[in-house]
Structure 1
Amino acid sequence: MRTARALFAGLCDATIEIMAVAYLDPNRRLLGMRHVAGGRDHVAISIRTVAADALGFDAVAVVIAHNHPSGDATPSARDVAFTRALAAGLRTLDVLLLDHLVIAEERVTSLRAMGVV
């Protein structure tokens, strides 16, 4: 979790929601990232975009994170639904969704730890 906090540290202070996607090689080394800016209470990225990037980087794993500027690190129903759909979509490409982190101030919630991924 410490590595993930460092990788996504910039999300803590943002005043709008930002989604960050990290693409990883078989040794869990970072191949590349994508950041997508949203609004005050939402951010959207398509499964297609994440999948295309994963294939482009030849990634075997992905970690996604986004912030909640409200200060509440509780995942929304939309966060949970997107995570499940993304994990299923990536599985068809033999890419593993390692985790989806929701970051709010100093708090981080792992959807993997919640059993969603």
Structure 2
Amino acid sequence: MRMKTTKKRIGRPADVAPVFRAILDAEGEIDQAKEHFWALFLDTKGHILRIELVTLGLLDQTMVHPREVFRPAIGISAKSVILCHNHPSGDPEPSDKDIQLTRRLIEAGKLLDVRVLDHVIIGEGSEWRSIAEVEAMTSLGLDFN
């Protein structure tokens, strides 16, 4: 599923969460009980090219394959991608599986020259976490700069 976007510029993790919170809120309560995984594709200046729902999962997990994340990026010549998913439990803290998936997608992006800038997790209400901002995750190489 593709979302219509404007040429909004994303310059920091705090710019990401409201975009996805609005999308999630528009989906209704039934879909909010499932984990969603989105990819936000950016051009060389950090403007949104496209937002794509990569997969819709279950209550506490979703299956994400690098091929499904990066296929649209190649088709639209995206320079970078920001990953985002929700935690229906409401707790935005990244799980070990979230970290492992982020590592895997960073490596896939390097091979394709599509940089993974961040992986944002949406929790309840206005709660969210940026894996790029989590101190212990700096070894992943995520950085908006």
The two structures have a TM-score, normalised by structure 2, of 0.75
Equivalent positions of 1:1-117 (< 5 A) are 1-9=13-21, 10-11=23-24, 14-35=32-53, 36-105=55-124, 106-114=126-134, 115=138, 116=140, 117=142
Structure 1 gaps, min length 5: none
Deviations 1:37-96 (A, max 9, x none): 110001122101112111011000000110101111111111100000101110111111
Identity %: 31
Larger-Rg structure:
2
Residue type matched to 2:103 in 1?
Answer: R
Where does structure 2 lack aligned partners over 5 or more consecutive residues? 1-12
How far residue 32 of structure 1 moved from its aligned partner, in angstroms, is 1.1
Q: Distance in 1 between matches of 2:68 and 2:110?
A: 15
TM-score w.r.t. the length of structure 1 is 0.91
- 1:85 alignment partner AA: R
Moved beyond 4 Å, runs of 4+ = none
Count of aligned positions: 117
Provide the aligned C-alpha RMSD in A.
1.5
